[in-house]
Chain A
Amino acid sequence: AQSVSQHNHHVILSEAASLELGCNYSYGGTVNLFWYVQYPGQHLQLLLKYFSGDPLVKGIKGFEAEFIKSKFSFNLRKPSVQWSDTAEYFCAVKVYYKLSFGAGTTVTVRA
């Protein structure tokens, strides 16, 4: 079974700082990749997804992610965070019918 690893459990940063969250997966075959966000008290929402094509994917709210196949990675980035980006971020990997999530990274943005 595939596994999904997120490098950071909790990230704290100030507004306008840059954000990068790491995600690695273990499956060697074809995968589809996702980043989801969970704002406090809400359910998960899709930030962006990669199925094929350009490995640099742009999502909502200024987020982007880069798929590096050789490194089995799909890292999430945002050049300048806002207080409203405070949330928990989940990387997810789909193999056939199974969609597995990482443990999540809590991001706290200080005003």
Chain B
Amino acid sequence: EAQVTQNPRYLITVTGKKLTVTCSQNMNHEYMSWYRQDPGLGLRQIYYSMNVEVTDKGDVPEGYKVSRKEKRNFPLILESPSPNQTSLYFCASSVTESPGELFFGEGSRLTVL
């Protein structure tokens, strides 16, 4: 089944404790992206990747890191999480380097205490 898989789906952590949210897609998509969803603000793009080893900042990259060493994986790293990073995170992928239809993962709800 074609899908975007995120882990963990739910996480409660404490300020400063490094964490990684994994994202994997099995559709051989070129483009991958991370968004955070907050009430009243919609989805805001954190980082995106047009292809392996090619990443760029979205609108809200501060406090996040990404890497794209393999085509299928695009992990989101929070080096030192803070409470303002409490949010619902979505990973998405698209067939081509310039994104058309995005296919979304199920979301990862992160709480930073």
Contacts and interface: CB of A to CB of B under 8 A. Distances in A.
A96 B98 contact: yes
Nearest to B101: A46
Contact of B99 (A1, A4, A44, A97): A97
B102 A99 contact: yes
Interface string A92-104: 0010111111111
Interface stretch (B17-25, B33-41, B62-70, B73-81): B33-41
Contacts of B45: 98-101
Contact of B48 (A34, A44, A98, A103): A98
Given A90-B42, A103-B40, A104-B42, A44 B98 contact: no
Q: 8 tightest CB-CB pairs across the interface, nearest first?
A: A103-B42, A101-B43, A43-B104, A104-B42, A44-B104, A101-B42, A46-B101, A99-B99
Interface of A: 1, 4, 6, 9, 32, 34, 36, 43-46, 49, 51, 90, 94, 96-104
Interface of B: 31, 33, 35, 40-45, 48, 50, 56, 58-59, 90, 92, 97-102, 104-107
